[in-house]
Amino acid sequence: MTTILWFKRDLRIHDNPALALAARDEKVVPLYIVEPDYWALTDTSGRQFAFLRESLADLQTALRGLGSNLVLRLGDAVTVLEDLYQTVKFDHLVSHEETGNAWTFERDKRVAAWARAQGVRWTELPQSGVVRRLQGRDGWAGQRNAFIARAQIMAPKALPPCDLPSDPVPTLCEPDVCSRRQPGGRDHALSLLGGFLTDRGQTYRSAMSSPLEGAAACSRLSPHLALGTITIREVVQATAARQREVKGGPRDGWAGSLKSFQSRLAWRDHFMQKLEDEPALEHRCLHRAYEGMRPLEPDQSRLSAWEKGETGLPFLDACMRSLRATGWLNFRMRAMVVSVASYHLWLDWRSTGKHLARMFTDYEPGIHWSQMQMQSGTTGINTPRIYNPIKQGSDQDPTGAFTRHWLPELTDVPDKHLQTPWTWDGAGRVLGKAYPEPIIDVGEAARTARDRIFSMRRSVDRSETQRVIHKHASRKDSAGHFVNDRAPRKPRRTKSDSAQLTLDL
């Protein structure tokens, strides 16, 4: 009989447990299913599809090097598997566990039902520190760290030949102009990792907050981790090896930067675990009391201005325009654009989250939706963080280079007034003409939002808050380290819970 190796978010041959298991069988069909319905969703985009195609091409080359072939099939997963079943009569389906959006969750349930009906054994294997069927967070960190510490799995030396034909794969998404998008494929992932650990990462801790410096100082591995061209285990272990090299060396920034990077790699799994444990958080407030706090139907004029980078708030607009062109923002700017949308513009996280999901090349549902809720104040356990976009512009873009690059219409505005052009005596020549008037008063909007959110926090049911803490809050000791064996007697909010953003690494 034949085994179907179903590639999903694991587009590589190295450190691939599913591939290693399938390679033991006599016949193996490496399969990737391109699903049109998935690419028609409101949280997918052309930039992500283009990254996928490049990564699939790289995987195809690697599999051919093993003597096999990647079979691409276009269509519904159950229909594709049924067609293959009629052709090759496979009895084993192997894949990795996927923590995806609600659509992929429902698809996997349909695949599971089909497999049971056909008598096909479906083996799903973990490829990260995310744990399925977890009952609570007590002991989770120990399980995660044990998985990450295991030896990497080497690629097989060869696979049985596979001569099944592939379907032609059309472009399934609308054209998506992203001129500075990162390219896909494992070779690019390895190049990024090597460059980060030996050169670019030295200033990671200090530069990651800057929209200019962060573009180079961050690892930029997030889209590759999202599609699995490289594994979290590879990155953690390579970083640990580099930490051993710099230990005891000069105080040149490397030790602190690598420690911060490891922390964010751990937080990546932490946030993905939230969606694994509670898939509904993609569509429903994590703390149920916060449903209805903001209108589900957004103010379309505010939403459109925010999406296009036309709010009249220069630094915010620069970030949104940069994101559209590059598919990436550094961690602090991601938090800031969500905060302003959620508090100052009072937009619901579901509407703004879909736009950002499409814009991020590195869209990872488990992290994305957990972070959308955390930054918009609907978890009930994180301190609300209301970022001031004017202050952020002054702090993170002190020379104005980033803002001016993305907002050339503000060329004539003096540095002193760049983040508040309405205070410039020449504002009439620009505002309302080349660049919009601000659509809100930042200070007044922040005060109103703060009153609303803290009023809500004072009135919520504490039993619901405790439910969220038990299921989702991190367990850390007094030094801020993960507790591997048990939780504190009274789980509590941590500063890191509210301060970390792990979308970009």
Three-class HEC string of 328-369: CCCHHHHHHHHHHHHHHCCCCHHHHHHHHHHHCCCCCHHHHH
Q: How many CB atoms lie within 10 A of CB 63?
A: 22
Q: How many CB atoms lie within 10 A of CB 195?
A: 14
User: What does pLDDT average to in each consecutive run of 10 residues of the chain (505 residues)?
Assistant: 96 98 96 98 96 98 98 98 96 97 97 98 96 89 95 97 95 87 98 98 96 95 98 98 96 96 95 94 93 94 98 98 97 96 98 98 96 93 92 97 98 97 97 97 97 87 85 60 34 36 52
Is residue 84 within 8 A of residue 31, CB to CB? The reply is yes
SS3 call for 429: helix
In which element (H, E) is residue 259 found?
helix 254-277
First to last CA, the chain: 43
Helices (H), 70-212: 77-88, 102-118, 140-149, 186-198, 204-207
pLDDT, position 458: 83
| Tokens linked to 347 | 């937009």
| Tokens linked to 218 | 């961050």
In which element (H, E) is residue 395 found?
helix 389-396
pLDDT, position 461: 77
| Tokens linked to 502 | 């792990």
CA Rg value for the chain: 24
The residues pairing with 74 across neighbouring beta strands, listed in sequence order, are 34
Q: Name the strands in the sheet holding 121-125, side by side, starting at the edge strand that comes first in the sequence.
A: 71-74, 27-34, 2-7, 92-96, 121-125
Which own/partner contact pairs does 417-421 have at CB distance under 8 Å and 24+ positions apart?
A: 418/314, 418/393, 419/314, 419/315, 419/390, 419/393, 419/394, 420/390, 421/314
- Domains of the chain: residue spans and CATH: 2-127 (3.40.50.620), 284-465+493-499 (1.10.579.10)
pLDDT, position 498: 35
Q: How far apart are CA 125 and CA 441, in angstroms?
A: 51
Return the DSSP state at 476.
Answer: B
Q: How far apart are CA 344 and CA 59, in angstroms?
A: 44
Q: How far apart are CA 454 and CA 460, in angstroms?
A: 10
pLDDT, position 467: 87
In which element (H, E) is residue 423 found?
none
